[in-house]
Structure 1
Amino acid sequence: MDWISIALLLFFGLLFLIAEVLFIPGTTVVGLAGFALLAAGIWFGYRDLGSSAGHVTLITALVLAGVIIYIGLRPKNMARLALTDVNDGHVRDARLPDVQPGATGRALSALRPSGTVLFAEHRREVVTRGEFVPTGAEVRVLRIEQNRIVVEAVS
């Protein structure tokens, strides 16, 4: 093999290593292909160019691979890939103190047996004990079970 083929093996091995470390980390297939190309280039360098050229090929490949891995694994570069946003959202809990047992409201939709009720200015999803309640009817909270508000029609 001539020196151009060996140089191309080393070049593409380093290119695959750059792709693995900087652009698509975690795939390992590209990184393993890069290391295989580097190993093949070094082996052909020793076999075809002699031991002194093989040593130069080995040292050059190791230094360049080390630089690529060092640059790719710096904290600044890793921070670009890491999720740093904090999720501070929350789910509206039916057990919050704005709706208590005994509170009354108006059905915004037909409760068959579940629907929407307006308590003061708070819209809540509610359920009945099985009965149907028409839209606009007055309802009263019987109890709050875990995350459900149970209501009944006010006669």
Structure 2
Amino acid sequence: MTALIIILLILLGVLLLLLEFFVIPGVTFAALGGIVLLVGGIYLSYHQYGATIGHITVFGTVVLNILSIVVVLKTNTWNKIKLNAEIDSKVDKLDDIDVNIGDRGICVSRLAPMGKIKVNKRIMEAKSLGTYIDERSEVEVIDIVDKVVIVKLK
């Protein structure tokens, strides 16, 4: 019965690590859980069956991990469920700025510290000086740096 538990712990740990590598981006509970399950299975093997079986379990776990990664990469198993999103949007840069320092406008959205303002009948993105400015507040353009409009509360 203990051998079955060890095998299940190791297989579940390998599955969680595969999910982490190919499906879930970043370090999540899947990776941590997979490592804990693998270490738990190896520890249980050493504890119940001794050093020889423990060494065999460690070697088998390493081989199983490498083999499973190779098989998954070769067969494209995870292509159906892996994350394939690409970011193709761009921030609108002001090419023809018709905004001057001293112009006044109104916040279309909250500036925290970035948001949308309406100046000279044109809606554009603006940045405050680190303070939050509520929607529908009157603002004044104080600077334009690298085509980014910087405003302050009027």
Give TM-score, length-normalised by structure 2: 0.47
| Greater Cα radius of gyration, structure 1 or 2 | 1
Give TM-score, length-normalised by structure 1: 0.47
